[in-house]
Amino acid sequence: MKHQTSKAGIARFRAAIARWTAWAPQVSGAGIKQLLLIATVAFLAACGGKSKDTAPPVTPPVTPSPEPYPGQLLALTNDATKELVLYDPAVIDWNTDAAKKWRWTPTTTLGFSAAEIKTWGGGTDFKLRRTKDTTVAALCDNSMAALIAYPTGKRIWSQVIPGNVHSAELLPNGNIALAASDGNWVRVYAASQGADNNTYAEFPLSQAHAVLWDPGINGLWVIGQDVGTKAHILTALQVSGTDASPTLTEMTQYRATLPTAWGHEVSAYYGNTNLLWITTNGGEYIFNKTSKTFSNAPTNNLTFVKGIGNQPSGQIVLVRPDANRNPRPKVSCSLNDWSTSTVDFYTAGGQWQGSRVVNGACFYKVKVVYDNYQ
């Protein structure tokens, strides 16, 4: 550490030099040696003097060592590689093949058309559901949506659908619900009627961003903006009609105004069927279905959270854009401003536990791979 020179020490040094200048012409030999000794002592005193401006040593923050997190696999939509990847949170290093338990992208071998393959950009949603003896994944990207068999990845139903599709959900009857933010709608497609069926019901909802089926209310939770009043809302839709010809109507008793604008995510709160995870551009919340009230999530009320959920153990996992993190991480997504290379983990009480960082990744959304709706 470099020495700090005090003002008093400098004054003493200057005084010694002045005396040397005055006396030097009159002395010689041993006298000169004495003057040199005086100057040296003054200089050392000046260098060794204490300073009130001396900064205390800086102790760097302690970063917790990575540790395994037992739990369900986590689905990440990656805009950089144009893949859906299921990661194992129990593996510490997500840059290794050992962490990647399943990957998917549409191919002709899996039954997808050239147009669907071309429009696929990495995904905007993924939900795993079980129907009878079959496990099915509902997924979407900005301009397409699909139902696929899991784990084979083979096509069950798919369509090229413009509108910036943000969310997908498999309904218990085999149909698929979608939300499109630019299309300003929520739709239910009669996917149960065939791989190419294009029949759908539509409910108008500006900036529609999420769909989540709830067996407890026998309805579909959706988030967006009222087309008339422009209010930012969370509400539920009743799916009626027939499997071949569905209809959608609002269940107004569940409508609630969001605490902040621009709703984004609706996820199941595993462990309590009366709660939902909700995010907006302005915050992250826990919604109580019975009281229709929002409370701040325990994870510091972060902004611009694109995906959030919890493991059955209670551990919280979320993603938010690198562009909205301060400071921006050294390893970050350079492809766009709405994705990240980092997945964060918190205790059920909201204490940050650690992260998984994937070099070059651009994760838009995270989903806990759990086939329970709620």
If asked whether residues 18 and 102 sit together in one domain, one would say no
- In angstroms, rounded to a whole number, what is the distance separating the alpha carbons of residues 220 and 177? 8
Q: How far apart are CA 311 and CA 331, in angstroms?
A: 26
- The answer as to whether 302 is a domain residue is yes
Same domain, 79 and 44: no
What CATH code is carried by the domain that includes residue 295?
2.130.10.10
218: nearest Cα among 374, 97, 9: 374
Mean pLDDT of the chain: 88
Name the nearest CA neighbour of 117 among 148, 101, 151, 141. 141
Express each pLDDT in 95-140 by its tens digit: 999 999 999 999 999 999 999 999 999 999 999 999 888 999 999 9
Q: Is position 129 within any domain?
A: yes
The boundaries of the domain holding residue 36 are: 7-48
Q: Do 146 and 193 belong together in one domain?
A: yes
Q: Do residues 106 and 13 both lie within one domain?
A: no
Handedness of CA 43, 48, 51, 54 (dihedral sign): positive
The reply to whether 16 and 136 lie within a common domain is no
Do 112 and 217 belong together in one domain? yes
pLDDT at 65: 77
Q: Which of 2-6, 228-232, 301-305 has the lowest mean pLDDT?
A: 2-6
92 and 207 assigned to the same domain: yes
Number of domains composing the chain: 2
In a domain, 63, yes or no: no
Whole-model pTM?
0.83
Contact 35, 24 (CB under 8 A): yes
What is the model's pLDDT at position 70?
Answer: 94
pLDDT digits (tens, 9 = 90+) for 18-37: 443 444 444 444 444 443 34
**CA-CA distances (angstroms) from residue 329 to 68, 94, 156, 271?**
22, 16, 39, 32
Q: What is the dihedral of CA 237, 241, 243, 249, to 10 degrees?
A: -10
Give me the mean pLDDT over the 341-359 stretch.
98
Same domain flag for 34 and 178: no
Looking at the structure, do residues 138 and 272 belong to the same domain, yes or no?
A: yes
Peptide bond into 204 cis (omega under 30): no
Q: Which residues of 75-102 are buried (b: 16+ CB within 10 A; e: fewer)?
A: bbbbbbebbbbbbbbebbebeeeebbeb
| Assigned domain for 341 exists | yes
Residue 53 lies in a domain: no
Nearest to 140 by CA among 131, 148, 149, 152: 148
User: What is the helix (H) or strand (E) element at residue 23, kind and residue range?
Assistant: helix 7-23
Contact 234, 221 (CB under 8 A): yes
| pLDDT at position 38 | 41
64 lies in some domain? no
* 57 band by pLDDT with thresholds 50, 70 and 90: low
User: Do 163 and 205 touch, CB atoms closer than 8 A?
Assistant: no
In a domain, 29, yes or no: yes
Task: Tell me the three state secondary structure of residue 188.
Answer: strand
Which segment, 26-30, 59-63, 159-163, is predicted with the most confidence on average? 159-163
- Give the pLDDT confidence score for residue 300 in this predicted structure: 85
Per the CB < 8 A criterion, the answer to whether 83 and 37 are in contact is no
38 and 166 both lie in a single domain:
no
Q: Examine the domain organization and report whether 278 and 238 are in the same domain.
A: yes
2 within domain boundaries: no
Higher pLDDT, 257 or 17: 257
The amino acid at 312: P
Residue 11 — φ and ψ, nearest 5°?
-60, -45
**Could you tell me if 20 and 95 lie in one domain?**
no
SS3 at position 116: helix
